[in-house]
Structure 1
Amino acid sequence: MLDMIWTDLGSPVPREQSLSYQPVSWPVGEPFFLTSPPEIVALPVLSDVIEGRRTRRSFGHVSLAQLSQWLWLTGRVMAVGHSNYGFPLTQRPVPSAGAIHPIHIVLSRSDQDGWQLYLPDMHALTPLLIPEQTRSEVRDELLPVIDIQNGIVVRFIAEQGKTSAKYVNADSLIWRDVGALVGQMALVAEALACNFCPMGITGHDWCARLKLEGRLVGTGLAVFGSR
């Protein structure tokens, strides 16, 4: 029988006095605005989506319309609220502890080199101005884990300081936030008749190479593709 190994992250509680935190300033280029999906979109009923969802590992090319609708239903900012933390609170399609939403979505698209950051308040993509990683290099890096084929590689990058501005022992909340986001992404992918596969690796090494004052941590990867 194996001994259980468990890292106790502590129970998060709100701080008696909240902290002020200045969010990371990403090195980015000009944004590319995605087209909002039509107001009336025929999607399967939720029970059919839940029953049909599977982790599938074949990934075709994703159109901009598919990508836009997927991000719209999982990541966009729907409403903005005031806070004393140095950044606004936001309402999005997924839950987040304290409405903080510390998880950034970074994408490698099949038809482009480099990485793109999703801007949830603008529903736009913007290139990361970092040493460029070609698409073939991304594929080779992940091949020991999964063949990404023509799918979109998704990195989940957490800004831990945002959640820590409100909570003591914030780390477990961040892991729960990314779990909620991954779960909704899987269901929305199924509703769009697309495939979605989360990976076990965190991708933190990539995050560390950004050298953004050590304020970003990798909390997972996934692949999103058409069928």
Structure 2
Amino acid sequence: MAIYKDPKIKLITSIKERVAYKVRNSIELAYPNEQKISFLDVLENRHSTREFAPMSISDLGGFLYLSCRTRSSERGELGLVNEKRNYPSAGALHSIDVIVSDNFSSNWYIYNSRQHTLDEISVADREELQEFKESCFNILGNGKAGYLIWYVCDFERLACKYEFPETLAFRESGGLSAIQSLVSEYLNMSFCTLGANGSQYVTCLSEQSKLLGVGTAIVGGKF
């Protein structure tokens, strides 16, 4: 069994800019409509759903905007870019990217949290990523509708500030997944966190930085 050491802030930090994926084109996303539901109702009604109806990309835009957009950013005293989003992150680094793919398409996208767009990524091996995506949808086994949400950590960016940062990456992905679960309930969507991490497939996304797969989920419409 792997034993992870407690993370520690480094005495001397290095500067690591956010990993730049090879982007082919971008899709502008819609903004969410305000829902007439209380936070208490969202909290009490939240539950994981294993069946997914088709969902429009406009609805996906609202989901991503509320759960993981960048509200503001600034370069901190250590020279690292710190961000504010709707979920916590170690050192405000927000080193986790949200990778998205519709099961009916072979395209893969990264959510651009600053521009609120889906940026299509040029991937190294579509067949291998399709295999990974099918394995994720097969975990539920109830239809193929919905979008795969893949949490991918820019591990080098996290490690430039922390020693032994592995647990921080998984804690952040858990916090993001929890927020997305609540947002999906608020927007009347179906959401389910999966057990797959996908670390063996991340080199298909980029080889310029050490990436770490730290979780997956599926989001879709409700019947």
Matching residue within 216, 219, 222 for 1:224 = 219
Q: 1:67 aligns with which of 53, 60, 71?
A: 60
TM-score normalized by the length of structure 2:
0.89
* 2:4 equivalent among 9, 29, 33: 9
Deviation at 1:87, TM superposition (A): 4.7
Aligned-partner SS, 1:117: strand
Q: How many angstroms apart in 1 are the aligned matches of 2:49 and 2:137? A: 16
Distance (Å, rounded) in 1 between the aligned partners of 2:60 and 2:170: 24
Pairing 1:1-227 to 2, within 5 Å after superposition: 5=1, 7-37=2-32, 41-83=34-76, 87-130=80-123, 131-133=125-127, 140-147=134-141, 149-210=144-205, 212-213=207-208, 215-227=210-222
d(CA) in 2 for partners of 1:136 and 1:211?
Answer: 16
Instruction: Give the distance between the partners of 1:21 and 1:164, measured in 2 at CA.
Output: 9
Q: CA deviation at 1:152?
A: 0.5
Counterpart AA for 1:158: C
Moved beyond 4 Å, runs of 4+:
84-87, 133-139
Query: For residues 201 and 70 of structure 2, what CA distance do their matches in structure 1 show?
Result: 26
**Structure 1 residue 25, shift from structure 2 partner:** 2.0
Contact 1:115–1:133 under 8 Å retained in 2: no
Does the 8 Å CA contact 1:194/1:224 hold for their aligned counterparts? yes
| Secondary structure of the corresponding residue to residue 95 of structure 1 | coil
Greater per-residue strand proportion:
2
Q: What is the identity percentage for the equivalent residue pairs of Structure 1 and Structure 2?
A: 24
Structure 1: any 5+ residue segments left out of the alignment?
none
**Could you say what secondary structure the match of 1:145 adopts?**
helix
- Partners of 1:140 and 1:150 in 2: how far apart? 12
Q: Distance in 2 between matches of 1:136 and 1:163?
A: 28
More helix by share: 2
